[in-house]
Structure 1
């Protein structure tokens, strides 16, 4: 029986329903998507921060806090491409978007030792963290600059910010107190050196309501410790209170006797003075400038020295010596030293018009013609400091330096102080030297010799009269003649060698002779060296005994 080959064909039919096996990957995908959504919905925003250095900052450990509440964690720390700063990425907690504003501030909290005390000790164990101070701006931000020190004032704190300019860089740091009569009313916010103005620039924040104390007339000065000053008024030594020495910082107030002025505007600039004494000096805006040409030495005369008129200050010395733009230093006469001064009208006249300043110039010209002269005087024998003094000397010696010196008018000067005494002494010595002392002393000797001869003749006459009166014939003279002779005899007896008058006269003549003998070497010394009466002479060496033979 033969077999037949029957072909087998597959029957293909389309499924009408999804296989249950596909449910497993679909459910897994939905679970994954849900997990991703849940993870993303539970994460806060990602922010980027820039810092100068990353001291104490660690990825995955360093926290971001706001009022001691954790609001984020640092995720990564890396250097910038130009290696100038550090870039830190942090993940914030959920619902922290309202904290991230354009004016929000961040700074690193770590242990610090400052003038105000020690802070951040809690980070010794927990490590440094970043403090977040929320801002009030309307715009959201995700890039921030982290400060190395805490801010002085909060962004929403009310107060006044002003600028200070100083020629010195000592004494102020960020956070130092700003004090008014010993009470802290603000802090130093910023401090930097400006290459344009070549001055130190400080920004201060004065908290409300104390900002109303800052007016246009206030003066700021450093709270000093020790101060030593030598000027025309002598030597001054001052020390601040122990509190000011410890706290440091600056103080401000309106100088005594000044108007309060108008309230200061924000960012108003003030000058920072080195101490309270210098802050009381008014800046006079109306003045006349003159040049004084002195024949004397100006050693001891310094910039800022007073210019006085009979003890009343009327100006200030500006430059010692004054040098013109062309390099000219000496005056028209050989040896004259130019000194630039200012006559400050505000010191004695409240009229601030230009007409008043012109009238002052005309008045000074008139007073110069009447004998107004300038001279150097010693303000303090201890320091040797000089000042300029004006006074009237219509009959004085011829003044020097009247006219023009460059663009400035000049006021005549006369020698003063030791120079004037030296000139007077030289004139006195010249007169003494011109006197004929030798002839005068010779005439005195001759006069004394003649006086001795006259007294000898009077004694002889008295002796003869005594003999005449003792003769018997003299008894027969008239009574009146006898009486006259007796009176004459008594008168002549007063000149006898035994009378007191003769003794006194003889002693006077001997004293005069001794004085003349003592004056002879002095006269020879003055004739040889006229200045020996004022200046000490070099003492002669002690005598050296001769060697024995």
Structure 2
């Protein structure tokens, strides 16, 4: 053993414990993990709210995107925003545009089969001025919710807004007529002079040249329409000139420019209530309805040789001022009789007699009763005459006259085309012209030349007589007669001075002188007039001499 090992002391092994590591907990590190969790929860909540508040996407088909902008153009219902335009693109056929709209949840249940969309922008039409507020805010898309059970998400945008309000009850009818004028959408529908509805659509059919309308009558006014109701056009101010004067009918202010459709029930009998989709005939005017034939109408034919200018279908037929019918057809040729027009000069006119116009405060009688009653009048001499209905417009009418000895009559047939023929005669201005013609003819037959010659001869003899009288008056002897007579009387007075006043001779002479003196006094004015105007005994002296006219 070495010394080194001997020198090292024998040491006992010493134990030292290892210290424990204590980890401290960081509160900040625990909270930071909550931020993503909260964000996730908030995002989920916002996503759920977005899903709840977001409605469906709707595709709108339009002719053009004029005034439509992405993210700017909104969709409204009842002026409440319920969507916004998200995309605009051309349609596949390049004939329009396709607009995609995102709606809110408020409108998701409004997309039905009958929902209608349109663009609201400034507009001026028959219904007035609308959309002026869009001049500042810009155009927007509006729609009316439908009531159908089926949903739909693609719609054709209308050119004009629909005329009916949202959820409004009423009656929708169709009118068809051969009309002279076509009204525009938005024109009013009137009952009497009260606005009760509106025209929703108007369409002209070239094939049959008819005009079709769809009208909507608001509730409760739809109760006024029945199966017997009659519809006609009223164009602004209507002026009618008849034999009774000038009648002016003015529509309400909304209808003055565009016209209106008016309806009423004959005699207040509207019949069974009308239902949606019913079709009615539309007449041009109220007068067309007034002249409609009835089941008891009586038809007759009258032949005229005078002019029928101014006589048109619908012209009144009157008896002593009472309107009892109307002209049905003029002219009324049948079986090619128009080819014989220049052979006989006859122009047939078909007239219609309405018995109900003669049943004034009386019960309605049968058609056979009025046929027999009218035939009795014809047998007694009832005739038809064309008379003037209005001198200003030149319109004519038929007047039935039963005056006896009314002149020559025309009745070429007993019946014509199944109708009884009424005898006719000339009347009115034509009759006056005929009378004037007869008078002129008689006047032309007078021996005027012989009469004028004899009158000229008599005037010549009278002129010669006046000349002789003037020569006699102008003679000195004739003019000296008064002077010589005065001288004779003076000499006679000198002679009588020697006669005694008490003698009978003096009294006789004095009486004679007084008589002569009175006679001279009475003759003095005549002599003075004769001296001033020698021809005054032949011509009237009180009439002023005519002043000859100067040459033209």
Q: Same fold (TM over 0.5)?
A: yes
Distance 1:425 1:127 in 2: 77
Q: Determine helix, strand or coil for the equivalent of 1:307.
A: strand
1:289-336, CA deviations, whole angstroms, 9 ceiling, x for partnerless residues? 322111112123222211122222222112222233647255696111
Select 2:110's aligned residue among 99, 103, 108. 99
RMSD: 4.3
Check if 1:320 corresponds to 2:323: no
- The two structures have a TM-score, normalised by structure 1, of 0.62
Distance (whole Å) between structure 1 residues aligned to residue 135 and residue 243 of structure 2? 56
Once the two structures are superposed, residues 453-502 of structure 1 have per-residue CA deviations (whole angstroms, 9 ceiling, x without a partner) of xxxxxxxxxxxxxxxxxxxxxxxxxxxxxxxxxxxxxxxxxxxxxxxxxx
Higher Rg of the two aligned structures: 2
TM-score, normalised by the number of residues in structure 2:
0.62
Confirm whether residue 283 of structure 1 aligns to residue 292 of structure 2: yes
Instruction: Give the alignment of 1:155-166 within 5 angstroms.
Output: 156-166=167-177
Match of 1:302 among 302, 312, 315: 312
The equivalent residue for 2:238 is 227
Q: Deviations over 1:316-361 (max 9, x none)?
A: 11222223364725569611112122222332358889xx334444
Other structure's SS at 2:327 match = strand
1:516-535 matched pairs, under 5 angstroms: none
Question: Per the alignment, do residues 143 and 242 of structure 1 end up closer, same or farther by CA in structure 2, a change over 3 Å counting?
Answer: closer
**Alignment-derived partner of residue 121 in structure 2:** 110
After TM superposition, the structure 1 = structure 2 runs for residues 198-217 of structure 1, keeping only pairs within 5 Å, are 198-216=209-227
> In 1, are the aligned partners of 2:302 and 2:424 still within 8 Å (CA)?
yes
**Is the aligned partner of 1:371 residue 2:378?**
no
Q: Given that residues 293 and 331 in structure 1 are in contact (C-alpha distance below 8 angstroms), is that contact kept between their aligned partners in structure 2? A: no
Aligned partners of 2:187 and 2:198 also within 8 Å: yes
Say whether the 8 Å CA contact 1:223–1:250 is kept in structure 2: yes
Contact 2:182–2:211 (8 Å) recurs in 1: no
- Aligned residues of 2:304 and 2:410 also touching (Cα < 8 A): no
Whole-angstrom CA distance in 2 between matches of 1:125 and 1:280: 49
Within-5 A mapping of 1:127-526 = 127-154=138-165, 156-168=167-179, 170=181, 172-216=183-227, 218-222=229-233, 224-236=235-247, 245=256, 249-254=260-265, 258-259=268-269, 261-272=271-282, 278=287, 281=290, 283-286=292-295, 287-324=297-334, 326=336, 328=338, 330=340, 334-349=344-359, 356-392=366-402, 395=405, 396-424=407-435
The 8 Å contact of residues 179 and 283 in structure 2, kept in 1 or not, is answered as: no
* 8 Å CA contact 1:49, 1:145 repeated in 2: yes
- Contact kept? 1:377, 1:416, Cα under 8 Å: yes
Is the 2:61–2:96 Cα contact (8 Å) retained in structure 1? yes
Contact 1:232 1:386 in 2 (8 A): no
Equivalence for 1:58 = 69
Secondary structure of the structure 1 residue equivalent to 2:101: strand
CA apart distance, 1:419: 3.5
Matched residue count: 411
Contact 2:384/2:399 (8 A) holds in 1:
yes
Structure 2 segments unaligned to the other structure (5+ residues)? 1-39, 455-538, 540-548
Q: 1:215 to 1:59 in 2, by over 3 A?
A: same
The alignment partner of 1:50 has SS state of strand
